[in-house]
Amino acid sequence: MNGDGQPRRPSVADIEAEIERLGRARAFRTAAWGAVKALIVVAAVSILLSTLWAPTFRVYGESMLPTLRDGELVVAFRQGGFERGDIVAFHYSNKILLKRVIAVAGEWVDISEDGVVSVDGEALDEPYAPEKALGECDLPLPYQVPDGRWFVMGDRRLTSADSRSSAIGTVSGEQIIGRVALRVWPLNAFGFVE
């Protein structure tokens, strides 16, 4: 209000200041909406990639000690041609198991009473399995891996349920989700899985 009781007319400077304020507010809303859209796209792409190309799994249990520990998060990459030594994630009885490939189709697996694993008559060097054990084995040994299948075992041989048990048996290509290649949690253990 001015001195006459009339509303004060804004000055040119007041109008310019208000136009600038409205422009900043509009720019902020535009930037915020752009950021929200970018986050939605990044989340959608991340979900798509993790579902189709690189699914992430939490390790449960201790069958892969000392390589993988309970509670760690690992990423598996979908690919074919799994080789001896690869850790694979596969479907088994509404669960996802993580085990190491020991032998591929056509190879003969034998395990001695003291837990030494041989493939095609040659004992494997297994630094990832410090404690050797025959474990729960009800397969007739030596055992030939059928076509299109992989013989897998956990690194903790005494307690791991794996291909040595006829309940699990060898793993087919349809069961395998991918090769476990990267540990992403905990951060202090981030890196490639061997």
Q: What is the pLDDT, as a whole number, of residue 6?
A: 72
Q: Which two tokens stand for residue 100?
A: 């190491």
Pairing of β 56-58 and β 171-172: unpaired
Cis geometry, peptide bond prior to residue 66 (ω within 30 degrees of 0):
yes
Number of Cβ within a 10 Å radius of residue 58 = 11
17, 32, 52 - which closes a domain: 52
Residues 45 and 109 grouped into a single domain: no
DSSP bridge partners of 122: 119
63 with 121, same domain: the answer is yes
- Both 12 and 99 in one domain: the answer is no
Q: Are residues 140 and 153 in the same domain?
A: yes
* Residue 161 structural domain: 56-192
The span from the CA of 96 to the CA of 48, in Å, is: 19
pLDDT tens, N- to C-terminus, the chain (194 residues): 566 667 778 777 777 788 888 778 788 888 888 788 777 767 665 555 555 556 677 778 888 888 888 888 888 877 767 889 888 888 888 888 899 999 999 999 999 888 899 899 898 888 888 888 888 888 888 999 999 899 999 888 888 888 888 888 899 888 888 888 878 777 777 767 77
CATH number, residue 75: 2.10.109.10
- The verdict on 167 and 80 lying in the same domain is yes
The total domain count for the chain is 2
185 plus 122 within the same structural domain: yes
Same domain, 33 and 119: no
Same domain for 33 and 67: no
Q: Given the structure tokens 């030596």, which residue do they identify?
A: 142
Rounded CA-CA distance 36/59 in Å is 33
Tokens encoding 81: 């041609």
Which residues sit opposite 90 in a β-bridge? 97, 176
Same domain, yes or no: 72 and 140:
yes
Are residue 136 and residue 66 in the same domain, yes or no? Answer: yes
pLDDT of residue 152: 93
Residue pair 158/64 in contact by the 8 Å Cβ criterion: no
**Same domain? 149 vs 178:** yes
Quick check: 155 and 66 in contact, CB under 8 A? yes
Residues 89 and 32 in one domain: no
3-class secondary-structure state, position 36: helix
pLDDT reported for residue 119: 92
Cα 151-56-189 angle, rounded to 5 deg? 90
Strand duo 56-58 + 73-77: pairing: antiparallel
